[in-house]
Amino acid sequence: MQTAAIHFDRFNTLSDADAHERIRAARERLGKKAVILCHHYQRADVYQHADLTGDSLKLSRNASQTDAEWIVFCGVHFMAEVADIMSRPEQISILPDMAAGCSMADMASLAKVERCWRELSEVLDPDEVVTPVTYINSSADLKAFCGEHGGIVCTSSNAPKILEWSLARREKVLFFPDQHLGRWSGYKRDIPMDEMMVWDPDLEMGGLSPAEIKKAKLFLWKGHCSVHQMFQPGHILRFRNEHPDGLVVSHPESSFEVCRQSDYVGSTEHIIKVVKESAPGTRWLVGTELNLVQRLAEEVKAEGKIVQFMAPTVCMCSTMQRIDPQHLAWTLENLAEGKVVNRITVPPHEAVLAKLALERMLEVS
């Protein structure tokens, strides 16, 4: 029988040291019944408690293969949704702080995407000529929309391949919510820039004329990541002037110009791999979230490698930052007492369609 939930107020004033001690104690009580997942962007004081680390899809797939009853996802809301969709029926997905969202994911809502689909239907038949593609950084109902309309999910590493699959089936793609990942992926697939049109969901017909809609091969949703939006071509130019032998690696959520001026472009896993496999003594400018960059810099320092953050100002994923040791301690102590808090549950009808879109992606990639 479950006990009453322990209220978070009792944890809000805990010192970090006390929170860490209570996390360790609760984990000892829980044993293998709980698994803690931490995304690469997670803050260091939480990341140290991870059982599994990685990007969102990798973490969800790995968690589903554990014996854990409870999946504690130290990431953001859409990641915990993916964990719920991908996990076994008896597993429960938990987000330590419900306020840990994703501003990019919030830029595309189901209502706005459905309106877009209706507006496109005034010019063409979207279910015949448009494949909806959603970045994994999106809500479950948008993944379900793609599942229902013959679409698919992509990640930052497989997006170009997913575009290729999508365009082989239908002549156009609606890509949401990140225009930058869509544009870079389209560029990698040799789609002309004038056939990639930005769809502004706050404007009628996305701000496009019927002629532009007919011409477009790729509709890019007007969305972005607030972290990667910070990086500018000027940051790369300054770095190259100061360090001519330096190397630049960027995440494809960065702007097109930043990606084009980088030596390497790829997902969080790719960024880590490229830097770790580089020659000793190399210097890197990295265009992705600060926590990952700082952690990577420490890990390769012994090899004489220098890793620096691309932007001159501090920029981290502020929503993921909300998950702190206090929230993790609260979550785990409740679980140790037999009480589940902050459970993330995707409605069954959405989960079926979202999983269909995810499975299409896994089959293709």
Q: What is the pLDDT of residues 19-51, one digit of tens each?
A: 999 999 999 999 999 999 999 889 999 999 999
Is the separation of the CB atoms in 251 and 287 below 8 Å?
A: yes
Rounded Cα distance between 222 and 224, Å, is 7
* 109 and 219 inside one domain: yes
* 189 and 300 inside one domain: no
Q: What is the CATH number of the domain that holds 261?
A: 3.40.50.10800
Classify each residue of 53-86 as buried b or exposed e, where b means 16 or more C-beta atoms within 10 Å of its C-beta. Answer: bbbbbbbbbbbeebebbbbbbbbbbbbbbbbbbb
Asked, for residue 314, whether it belongs to a domain, the answer is no
Q: Please identify, among 197, 226, 255, the residue that sits at the C-terminal boundary of a domain.
A: 226
The pLDDT of residue 113: 98
Asked, for residue 358, whether it belongs to a domain, the answer is no
On average, the pLDDT of the chain sits at 94
The pLDDT of residue 265: 98
Q: Is the pLDDT of residue 3 over 70?
A: no
Asked, for residue 62, whether it belongs to a domain, the answer is yes
* 190 and 83 inside one domain: no
> pLDDT band for position 103 (50/70/90)?
confident
Average pLDDT value for residue range 48-65: 93
> pLDDT band for position 4 (50/70/90)?
low
SS3 category, 280? coil
* 222 and 110 inside one domain: yes
Q: Is the pLDDT of residue 1 over 50?
A: no
Write the pLDDT tens digit of every residue in 207-217: 999 999 999 99
Measure CA 52 to chain center.
Answer: 16
Asked, for residue 364, whether it belongs to a domain, the answer is no
Q: Is the pLDDT of residue 2 over 80?
A: no
Q: Is the pLDDT of residue 9 over 80?
A: no
Q: Please identify, among 185, 209, 226, the residue that sits at the C-terminal boundary of a domain.
A: 226
SS3 category, 53? strand
Q: Is the pLDDT of residue 222 over 50?
A: yes
> pLDDT band for position 318 (50/70/90)?
low
Phi-psi map region of 268: left, alpha, beta (phi>0 left; psi -120 to 50 alpha): alpha
Average pLDDT value for residue range 320-330: 90
Closest CA to 104 of 20, 41, 197, 149: 41
* 221 and 236 inside one domain: no
Asked, for residue 362, whether it belongs to a domain, the answer is no
Residue given tokens 């593609």 in the structure block: 133
| Contacts by residues 83-88 (CB-CB < 8 Å, ≥ 24 positions apart) | 83/37, 83/59, 83/344, 84/140, 84/344, 84/345, 84/346, 84/351, 85/60, 85/140, 85/143, 85/346, 85/351, 85/354, 85/355, 85/358, 86/60, 86/61, 86/355, 86/358, 87/60, 87/63, 88/64
Q: Is the pLDDT of residue 320 over 50?
A: yes
* 232 and 222 inside one domain: no
Which neighbouring-strand residues pair with 72?
36, 94
The pLDDT of residue 12: 81
> pLDDT band for position 59 (50/70/90)?
very high
Cis peptide before 89 (omega within 30 of 0): no
Q: Is the pLDDT of residue 315 over 80?
A: no
Asked, for residue 357, whether it belongs to a domain, the answer is no
Rounded Cα distance between 203 and 304, Å, is 51
Q: Is the pLDDT of residue 295 over 80?
A: yes
* 58 and 125 inside one domain: no
SS3 category, 178? coil
Q: Is the pLDDT of residue 6 over 90?
A: no
- Percentage of residues in the chain having pLDDT higher than 70: 97
Which residues form the domain of 87? 9-101+319-346
Asked, for residue 359, whether it belongs to a domain, the answer is no
Count of domains for the chain: 3
Write the pLDDT tens digit of every residue in 135-188: 999 999 999 999 999 999 999 999 999 999 999 999 999 999 999 999 999 999
The pLDDT of residue 79: 93
* 194 and 118 inside one domain: yes
The pLDDT of residue 226: 87
pTM here is: 0.93
Is the separation of the CB atoms in 202 and 147 below 8 Å?
A: no
Asked, for residue 133, whether it belongs to a domain, the answer is yes
H or E, element range at 4: none
